[in-house]
Chain A
Amino acid sequence: MSAIKSPFESHPPSARRLLLTVLAALMLAAVILLTIVLPAEYSIDPTGIGGVLGLKKTTAAEQKIELLDTLGGNEKIDTTSVAGGAGSSQPIPLPNPAVHQSQDSAAQAETFTITLPPYAQTEIKAVLKTSKVLMYAWKIDRGQIYVDFHGHSPEWTNKEAFVRYEENKASTGANGSLVAAFPGEHGWYWLNGNAFPVVITLTVQGYYDKIIDYGVSK
Chain B
Amino acid sequence: MIVKLLLALAGLLLSVAGFAHGVAANDASYIESLKGVAVIPYMYLGAKHMVTGYDHLMFLAGVIFFLYRFKDVALYVSLFAMGHSITLLLGVLAGIHANAHIVDAIIGLSVVYKAFENLGGFRRLGLQIDSRLAVFLFGLAHGFGLSTKLQELSLSPEGLLVNLIGFNVGVELGQFAALGMLLLVFEVWRRTDHFIRAAYLANTLLMSAGLILFGYQLAGYLQAA
A41 contacts which chain B residues (CB < 8 A)? 216, 219-220
- Asked if B204 and A78 sit within 8 Å, CB to CB, the answer is no
Contact (A8, B119) CB under 8 Å given A29-B212, A37-B212? yes
Asked whether B180 is an interface residue with its Cβ less than 8 Å from the other chain, the reply is no
Bound-state Cα–Cα, A22 to B125, Å = 13
Q: Decide if A4 touches B117 in the complex (CB within 8 Å).
A: yes
With a 10 A CB-CB cut-off, give which of B68, B115, B120, B131 has the most chain A CB atoms. Answer: B120
- In the bound complex, residues from chain B placing their C-beta under 8 Å from that of A44 are 219, 223
A81, B130: Cα distance in complex, Å: 40
Alpha-carbon separation in the docked complex, A63 to B225 (Å)? 11
B131:A38 contact, CB within 8 angstroms: no
Chain B residues 93 to 146 lying within 8 A of chain A, measured CB to CB, are 115-121, 123-124, 128-132
A7 and B66: CB pair below 8 A?
yes
A14 to B120, CA, bound (A): 10
Complex contacts, B124 vs chain A, CB 8 Å: 12-15, 18
A21 at the interface (CB under 8 A from B): yes
Q: How far is the CA of A32 from the CA of B196 in the complex (A)?
A: 26
* B179 CB to nearest chain A CB (Å): 16
B207 on interface, CB distance cutoff 8 Å: yes
CB-based nearest A residue for B129? A2
Determine whether the beta carbon of B211 is less than 8 Å from that of A25: yes
Question: In the complex the two chains form, what is the Cα distance from A8 to B220 in whole Å?
Answer: 34
Interface status of A137 (Cβ within 8 A of chain B): no
CB proximity to B under 8 Å, residues A20-44? 21-22, 24-26, 28-30, 32-33, 37-38, 41-42, 44
Q: How far is the CA of A95 from the CA of B121 in the complex (A)?
A: 48
Q: Closest CB of chain B to A123's CB: distance in Å?
A: 38
Q: Of the candidates A1, A7, A26, A38, which one forms a contact with B219 in the assembled complex, judged by CB atoms under 8 Å apart?
A: A38
| Residues of the B chain whose Cβ atoms lie less than 8 Å from the Cβ of A181 | none
Q: Please measure, in the bound complex, the distance between the C-alpha atom of A63 and the C-alpha atom of B224, giving whole angstroms.
A: 7
B6 at the binding interface (Cβ < 8 Å): no
Residue B123 contacts which of A12, A24, A30, A32 (CB distance < 8 angstroms)?
A: A12
Q: How far is the CA of A122 from the CA of B103 in the complex (A)?
A: 65
- Chain B 65-83 residues near chain A, CB threshold 8 A: 65-68, 72, 75-76
Q: Could you say which residues of chain A place their CB within 8 Å of the CB of B220?
A: 41-42, 61
A-B contact pairs, 18 of them (CB 8 A): A2-B131, A3-B75, A4-B66, A5-B66, A6-B118, A8-B118, A12-B121, A12-B123, A14-B124, A18-B124, A25-B208, A25-B211, A26-B208, A28-B205, A33-B216, A38-B219, A41-B219, A41-B220
**Residue positions of A touching B, CB distance < 8 A:** 1-9, 11-15, 18, 21-22, 24-26, 28-30, 32-33, 37-38, 41-42, 44, 61, 63, 78, 81, 95
Chain B residues within CB distance 8 Å of chain A: 65-68, 72, 75-76, 115-121, 123-124, 128-132, 152, 154, 196, 199-200, 203-205, 207-209, 211-212, 215-216, 219-220, 223-224
